[in-house]
Structure 1
Amino acid sequence: MSATMSLPVISAGDSLDSYIRQVNTIPMLTAEEEADLAQRYRSGNDLEAAGRLVLSHLRVVVSIARGYSGYGLPQADLIQEGNIGLMKAVKRFEPTRGVRLFSFAVHWIKAEIHEYIIRNWRMVRIATTKAQRKLFFNLRSMKQSFAALTHKEARQIAEDLGVKPEEVLEMETRLSGQDIALMAEDNDDDNHYAPIDWLADHDNEPVAVLQRRAFDQLQGEGLEKALDTLDPRSRRIVEARWLADDEAATLHELAAEFGVSAERIRQIEGKALQKMKGALTAA
């Protein structure tokens, strides 16, 4: 896909606000339009169809990228990395699974942004394992307040994320750093950031509202109940393929794990997703 379809780029001469305004004018697709375009791309390598799928979801990338503003990296770069993840999602999207591209693409968009942050932010050098990466990206949201963690809170977070309490406290120290001024000093460096640059509230934007609704449906109690309707093998396959914190497992990897063919894994996955869809609809 990338060989003949150019990735949307935020050029140096363009304003980021201008780019965001442009992508917000691109209408989202209906479920029927999305399924038709995805089928055209998968069956006939229709790059125009793939391009429409990408363009209609650029606003989703912008919304997700804004959630990582606090890491002090250029917002335009975060968006561009997220766009790469979106294109990977479009390439792998199968409309017959009964899941909208919006929900499917979130994992791929976040994965690319996470990798970019890890490559470019010096304080993440200690996040070398899967568990440490999970700690890095979840610690801020799991803290109950801006105050330093108590040992009890650190133990609870460590238990939830599968790391040592000492690692939680060390990561908190590195993320907290020294006190800095709210306003930036005079500085000609375009990459210079201060907290004032991050204090925008995007909670009530339409895209953010839609995203929260999708997450509430797929990751709340409904998801857990839907997973409970599956047998252990089907649940393992769904979690490995769709709910993995890191890179999703491939059909061939799961086939080797269960001693069956990749096609059989695909069949089990399809039936499991249909069963979960029914459970979510009935909830």
Structure 2
Amino acid sequence: IATKLGVSEEEVTNMNRRLGGDASLNAPLRADGESEWQDWLADDTAVSQETQLAEDEEKSIRRGLLEEAMQELTDREKHILTERRLKDDPVTLEELAGQYGVSRERVRQIEVRAFEKLQKAMRAAAEERNLVDV
């Protein structure tokens, strides 16, 4: 077989051993039987529990800071900021200008000022909780 395939006899022997049949993942690794093959399998695509927990905690903290900081804004600023920055499909300046009866430029100015107020409030809240370096 080795000659016919153009490989060494050792490769044929190794392949025969590998093709010798399916092995159970519950089969013991050693004679003592303390560990099984499945104990050594790892899911490289899965996020570790520690990483997932840390990400969830950070997301929760950030959401809390955002909700707290949003209280510093007026209703109009909240609405404009939410529509322009916090939605997957943001509303245009033109649409908001029509709702409020002002120019697109004025809506843009309100959005910028509201975003600056929001950043300042979030930073202050984060510093208050010792979440950032001062």
Superposition TM-score, scaled by structure 1 size: 0.26
Cα deviation digits, residues 235-265 of structure 1 (max 9, x gap): 0001111222x51111111111111111111
Tell me which amino acid in the other structure corresponds to 2:115: L
Match in the other structure for 1:268: 110
Instruction: Indicate conservation of the 8 Å contact 1:223/1:280, yes or no.
Output: yes
Residue 69 of structure 2, aligned match among 222, 226, 230: 226
Which 5+ residue runs of structure 1 have no aligned equivalent?
1-197
Indicate how the Cα distance of structure 1 residues 259 and 217 shifts in structure 2: closer, same or farther if over 3 A, else same: farther
State the superposition RMSD in angstroms. Answer: 3.0
Residue 101 of structure 2, aligned match among 259, 265, 269: 259
Higher RCO, Cα 8 Å, sep 6+:
2
Which 5+ residue runs of structure 2 have no aligned equivalent?
1-42, 126-134
Instruction: Indicate conservation of the 8 Å contact 1:241/1:248, yes or no.
Output: yes
Partner Cα separation in structure 2 for residue 271 and residue 226 of structure 1:
14
Instruction: Indicate conservation of the 8 Å contact 1:203/1:209, yes or no.
Output: no
Q: Which has the larger radius of gyration?
A: 2
Query: If each structure's helix is expressed as a fraction of its own residues, which one has the higher value?
Result: 1
Partner Cα separation in structure 1 for residue 69 and residue 108 of structure 2:
19
Post-superposition shift, 1:201?
A: 2.2
Residue 282 of structure 1, aligned match among 97, 116, 124: 124
Match in the other structure for 1:201: 46
Identity %: 35
Query: Runs of 4+ in structure 1 displaced over 4 angstroms?
Result: 203-206, 208-212
Partner Cα separation in structure 1 for residue 95 and residue 50 of structure 2:
39
Tell me which amino acid in the other structure corresponds to 1:201: A
Partner Cα separation in structure 2 for residue 225 and residue 274 of structure 1:
15
Post-superposition shift, 1:280?
A: 0.6
Q: How does 1:1-283 map to 2 (within 5 A)?
A: 200-203=45-48, 213=58, 215-216=59-60, 218=62, 220-244=63-87, 246-283=88-125
Partner Cα separation in structure 1 for residue 44 and residue 98 of structure 2:
48
Partner Cα separation in structure 2 for residue 250 and residue 211 of structure 1:
32
Instruction: Indicate conservation of the 8 Å contact 1:227/1:276, yes or no.
Output: yes
Indicate how the Cα distance of structure 1 residues 250 and 205 shifts in structure 2: closer, same or farther if over 3 A, else same: farther
Count of equivalent residues: 82
